[in-house]
Structure 1
Amino acid sequence: MESERSAIIELHMAGKSPSEIFKLLNIAKGRRAFIYRTINRYKETGDTVDKPRSGRPCSVTTSALKKVVRERIRRNPHRSMRKMALELNISRRAIQKVVKRDLGMRSFKRKKVQFLSGSVKEKRVSRSKSLLALHAIGVLENTIFSDEKIFTIEEATNSQNDRVISTSVSAIPDKFRYISRMKKPLLLMVWAWVSVVGRTPLIFIPPGVKINAKTHQELVLESVVKGLSQTMFSGQQFVFQQDGAPAHTANTTQDWLKHNIPNFIHKDEWSPYSPDLNPMDYSVWSILENKACSVSHNTVSSLKISLGREWEKIPQETLRAAVEGFPNRLRAVISKKGSYIEEMTRQSLPNSSY
């Protein structure tokens, strides 16, 4: 401790700012205030010795305790701080101080993810490498990323940060306190595509229609995708992408694409179980749902109007940023050896405050 204080004062006398000292000495983030206190004490007293204080010295959060807690977390990071406090016969607050302030750690929520077998991971790596190679030579320059999503009339919520400010629980009005849920809420299936240069209007699948190869070809491919060569991409090449849904990978669908779309990502070229590679999944649908479903809707018609209105409001710059994140995600899959790249999802979401 004294050596740290001496180093801080030496750097301070050399004209270094507190933030520069923080970086140079690599002091733990939770002890940033320690630098300021040391400098202020030196200015006041000309020394770094602690001022006389009331109360007894720290006897709980000792070096030995820090070592024990660090080792327990290393063996099993899925630990409860409350249980550790009981096992070590100290307060929960003391454990929290050690974990956050001294060890520089914090707790994270576990995530439910799709199971990925070894063979699936291998395919994700090999196909990501192939797609990245095609992207590097400009083959995927005008890629259209497409997807379907089911929306409900219920309010969309985020369990991580959905909070209500009030003096007490009983003081919260019911409409803010509770989120209504139904056993069988009304549904609406939507299809859309995005690219760096534009998007399609939302395609609403009629209620009761089961999406199979035949209906997918009639409602989406024939009516929307087929005419792109003469409309948005007139005179330009584009590449059509869709995921591994059964309606997409059916032989009749692949044959239709071969005869009608000059360039498309074949079912054996797209990585399996990879919503983390499709901008619609890892970004665009979330942006739309947060806006259009911020409140519940009474009818499917109301939901449809809200979706269409908010879809048009999303800036093209936001969609472009989502699409341009695709090659970086391919690299991330390769780097992670085909495993999950969910931690990248939040970091790479474009700014959706429009």
Structure 2
Amino acid sequence: MIKRNPTTNTSALQIPRKDLGKKPYKYLKSQKLEEPARQKRKKRARGLLARFSRRRQRKIVFSDEKLFDIEQAFNPQNDRIWSDDALETVDRVVEQAQKPSRVMVWAPICATRKTPLVFVDAGVMINRYVYMGMLQGQFFPWAEEHFGDEEWCFLQDSAPGHKANETREMLAEECPEFISQDAWPPNSPDLNPLDYSIWSILEQKVCAKPHKTVESLKQALIKAWDEISVETLAKIVDDFPKRLKACVEAEGGHFE
């Protein structure tokens, strides 16, 4: 393995590529997986593959929450400004506040539709009572209207309010089927479509420039959310079994 040294000149960097036939790969930051977690990921991913074969992934409603802040999001490794003339430093700086204003959003999606975005008020902790209220007030009516008598399955992450006994009892009563915390692979944002795709789509559209207010951020999120098509949802959800298979083949380890 050849590591890049910032002091190495450009021509030297071409040697591994041209003369040795090597390709450059960037380091990836990810959560550390201990062996017990790897084994659980592999076992549970295999179980979900069997459970949701024959395109049954299209009956799953995936849910998740994410914090967005009003500042500009950027990747210092990949994002570049192309210009004919040299830019002043001030034109290249993306200022970041220590504690920017932010908003929490929660949303479920499936291959055929998405719920409206649910905004959580600033300072509100999503405990079991708040979460159960979101399910009763926003999600269950949406699911009844969308699915009717069709079978569907609900997936949530393992946040404390989600896995509380009262929450699980409600889900067992209201959902035709749901994926319990004992069936979902641990440490697996790489397996939830919202984490591996949807949130990135929103961030790229909404946070390319900073927002002056939280209300501006909310309106931009709603607009970007509404622009996500059913075709996009279906494609992203159909990647779910492929990613389960990749997880199994990676022995429960990282696969991207």
Aligned 8 A contact 2:58 2:234 in 1: no
C-alpha distance after superposition, 1:300-329 (max 9, x if no partner): 111001100111011211111111100000
Q: CA deviation at 1:229?
A: 4.5
Give the counterpart of 2:125 among 187, 210, 230.
210
Instruction: Map residues 159-170 of structure 1 onto 2, 5 A cutoff.
Output: 159-166=76-83, 167-170=85-88
SS in 2 for 1:232: helix
Paired position in structure 1 for 2:103: 188
Which of 287, 290, 304 matches 2:204?
290
Q: Does 1:79 align with 2:3?
A: yes
Q: Distance in 1 between matches of 2:69 and 2:97?
A: 10
Contact 1:142 1:195 (8 Å CA) reproduced: yes
Q: Contact 1:152–1:185 at 8 Å: present in 2 too?
A: yes
Within 5 A, what are the aligned runs for 1:264-275?
A: 264-275=178-189
Counterparts of 2:238 and 2:55, CA distance in 1: 13
Query: What's 2:23 paired with?
Result: 106
How does the TM-score come out when normalised to structure 1?
0.68
Which residue, 115, 118, 132 being the options, matches 1:200? 115
1:18-67 deviations in Å (ceiling 9; x for gaps):
xxxxxxxxxxxxxxxxxxxxxxxxxxxxxxxxxxxxxxxxxxxxxxxxxx
For the aligned residues, what is the CA RMSD? 1.9
Match of 1:70 in 2: none
Quick one: percent identity of the two aligned structures?
38
Which has the higher mean CA deviation after the structures are superposed, 143-152 or 156-165?
Answer: 156-165
CA gap of 1:293–1:229, structure 2 versus 1, over 3 A, is: closer
Letter in 1 for 2:153: V
Unaligned runs of 5+ residues in structure 2 are none
Given that residues 65 and 106 in structure 2 are in contact (C-alpha distance below 8 angstroms), is that contact kept between their aligned partners in structure 1? Answer: yes
Partners in 1 of 2:224 and 2:56 — Cα distance? Answer: 32
How far apart in 1 are the matches of 2:4 and 2:186?
35
Distance in 2, Cα, partners of 1:168 & 1:229: 54
Structure holding more strand per residue: 2
Distance 1:228 1:102 in 2: 58
1:129 to 46, 61, 68: 46
Aligned residues: 255
1: distance between equivalents of 2:99 and 2:183?
37
Structure 1 residue corresponding to 2:144, chosen from 230, 238, 255: 230
Q: What is the correspondence of 1:1-354 to structure 2 with a 5 Å cutoff?
A: 77=1, 79-80=3-4, 92=9, 95-136=12-53, 140-166=57-83, 167-170=85-88, 174=90, 176-218=91-133, 220-342=134-256
Query: Greater Rg, structure 1 or structure 2?
Result: 1
TM-score normalized by structure 2? 0.93
Of structures 1 and 2, the one with the larger relative CO (CA 8 A, separation 6+) is 2
Runs of 5+ unmatched residues, structure 1:
1-76, 86-91, 343-354
Separation in 2, partners of 1:199, 1:119: 34
AA of the residue aligned to 2:24: S
Give the 3-state SS of the residue equivalent to 2:177 in structure 1. coil
Tell me by how many angstroms 1:257 deviates. Answer: 0.8
Inter-partner Cα distance in structure 1 for 2:237 and 2:105: 19
Q: Supply the distance in 1 between the matched residues of 2:77 and 2:233 (Cα, whole angstroms).
A: 25
Measured after TM superposition, the shift of residue 124 of structure 1 is: 0.4
* Per-residue deviation, 1:177: 1.6
